Amino acid sequence: MVAEIFHRYLMIVVACIALLIGLQIPNLADQYEKRVDAHLREVTIDFQPYQAIADKYFNGSIEKLIEFHRQSGQKPFQEEGAAVEKMYQRKLRFEAEMSALKTSLPYRIVHILFNSDQEMMGETLSQYSYTVPLNQDALVVGAAIAATVLLALELLLAVARLATRLVFRAQGEGI
């Protein structure tokens, strides 16, 4: 009787914890996307003067502008070319990340969990603000996580009970 009550309360606690964790997942996706967007906006603004130069002298080709700097006989221009290229690669990286995030919530979550930009994920996690959003996405994900965790836990407990019965039955027959 006490074990049964303890089991039910344990399941309630596990369900609450899983629900709260599940509620955070859409919030994490939202904060991650906003961080990537902010970095993309910043690098785009910083990159505009170089794009204007490329538009004016190289028919818009940043690659030609970078190559022009690299082929310069002067070391400062060569280093400036490397700096422009680094900024350009960063801009392309954030554009690709934003493109990958322009999809439905389940695909965004999978992308963030398995293919996120490590720099952006680190920043997001280090400055993550925990909230309990009560929007449809958060509630659906929270309920799905809670149900999945509870079902998995119930399955593990059922397997453990079955294994225990089989062990005791085998010991009883062996005596």
| 78-128 tens-digit pLDDT | 999 999 999 999 999 999 999 999 999 999 999 999 999 999 999 999 999
pLDDT value of residue 174: 61
Q: How far apart are CA 68 and CA 58, in angstroms?
A: 10
Task: List pLDDT tens digits, range 44-75.
Answer: 999 999 999 999 999 999 999 999 999 988 99
pLDDT tier, 36 (very low <50, low <70, confident <90, very high otherwise):
very high
Average confidence (pLDDT) over 126-143: 88
Q: How far apart are CA 27 and CA 109, in angstroms?
A: 10
Listed by start position, the domains of the chain span 2-174
Q: Does 6 have pLDDT greater than 80?
A: yes
Q: How far apart are CA 109 and CA 100, in angstroms?
A: 11
The CB density around residue 51, as the number of other CB atoms within 10 Å, is 16
Q: How far apart are CA 25 and CA 141, in angstroms?
A: 7
pTM of the shown model: 0.78
Q: Cβ contacts of residue 61 below 8 Å, gap of 6+?
A: 54
